[in-house]
Amino acid sequence: MKTMKLGTSDLQVPVIAVGCLRITGLNQTEAERFVQTALDAGANFFDHADKYGDGACEQIFADAVHMTPAVRERILLQSKCGIRDGVAFDFSKEHILASVHGSLKRLKTDYLDVLLLHRPDALVEPEEVAEAFDHLVHSGKVRHFGVSNQNPMQIQLLRKFVRQPIVANQLQLSIMHAGMISQGLHVNMEDERAVNRDGSVLDFCRLNDITVQAWSPFQYGFFEGVFLGSDRFPALNRKIDEIAARYGVSNTTVAIAWLLRHPARIQPVTGTMNTGRLLDCVKAAEIRLTREEWYEIYLAAGNVLP
């Protein structure tokens, strides 16, 4: 598996991260097989969140990987905190510290390689976040920090107070959810795609060496479904299938390769629990689409060039 540097850190990570949101749908044997398949393929960067399965995902993963100090040295663990389902988004020092404590206990580890703040908190007090991050670093519980679903100004506000670099921003991005790319192509136009809804977050992350982690790389809309094989997108699927046949790979591989082709050094976060599909995702690291193929897929998705 090819690796990349995560943001400005010294952490070398696989170019594809393994999302563990759906691991609660596997039994013990299936979970063990899935995790081992990922490790055998070199995909040893696992993405979690305290809210996934109300914490059950982290616990199931730790059991599946048979967590020991020796195992811990072979893997990279990222988790997220800040969402209190149906209640609030919470970046208070108290909540951040409590969330990390819970994640560490469930994951059976002493530290996280990366902690992300999960969705913006309207009541964030960045001074409190800074205190929490300092405590976590000094206690050895977290080594690197990032955010999720934040725009440039929100990140800048954090950076004014937080001493540690923001190394990643996890954002929804796929062939069928590519507004952050489209608005950059429609600068100075008056059409719908020219609307800048995210503060040019993709360019901001590139300028500041913040790794964009693409979540839901196969979804369209906001969890409306998977676009691969969908009757709703016949032109897109024909084009993806055509290119997949050209390379002798699956449509899954091409969808991930499309994200990897972007020069922003995007790290897709998979969500599948199917071992075959996971291996198809990993295979994308071996393919580099041509500029023409990348644009052919972009246009087949219903996008236009101004």
126-156 tens-digit pLDDT: 999 999 999 999 999 999 999 999 999 999 9
pLDDT exceeds cutoff 90 at 62 = yes
pLDDT band at 86 (very low <50, low <70, confident <90, very high): confident
pLDDT exceeds cutoff 90 at 38 = yes
| Residue with token string 């009541």 | 123
Cα(35)–Cα(41) distance, integer angstroms: 10
pLDDT value of position 223:
81
The CATH classification number of 3-230+263-274 equals 3.20.20.100
pLDDT exceeds cutoff 90 at 224 = no
Task: For residue 91, give the 3-state DSSP assignment.
Answer: coil
- Judge whether 84 and 56 are in contact, CB under 8 Å: no
- Exposed e or buried b for every residue in 88-115, given b needs 16+ CB within 10 A? ebbbbbebbbebbeebbebbbbebbbbb
- Judge whether 287 and 45 are in contact, CB under 8 Å: no
- Exposed e or buried b for every residue in 191-207, given b needs 16+ CB within 10 A? eebeeeebbbbbebbbe
Q: What is the mean pLDDT of residues 274-302?
A: 98
pTM: 0.96
**What's the token pair of residue 74?**
């072979």
pLDDT value of position 93:
98
- Give the closest residue to 149 by CA, choosing from 82, 56, 88, 54: 82
Domain ranges within the chain, ordered by starting residue: 3-230+263-274
Give the residue ranges of DSSP H helices in 109-233: 126-138, 152-161, 179-185, 201-207
- Which residues make Cβ contacts (< 8 Å) with residue 275, sequence separation at least 6? 33, 34, 37
pLDDT band at 15 (very low <50, low <70, confident <90, very high): very high
pLDDT exceeds cutoff 90 at 296 = yes
Mean pLDDT of the chain: 97
Cα(158)–Cα(181) distance, integer angstroms: 24
177 DSSP 8-state letter: B
pLDDT value of position 222:
83
pLDDT band at 253 (very low <50, low <70, confident <90, very high): very high
pLDDT band at 99 (very low <50, low <70, confident <90, very high): very high
pLDDT value of position 18:
98
Measured CA angle at 175 (ends 301, 116), to 5 deg: 160
pLDDT band at 157 (very low <50, low <70, confident <90, very high): very high
* CB-count exposure of residue 87 (10 Å: 0-12, 13-18, 19+): exposed
- Give the closest residue to 302 by CA, choosing from 245, 246, 216, 237: 237
Cα(145)–Cα(147) distance, integer angstroms: 7
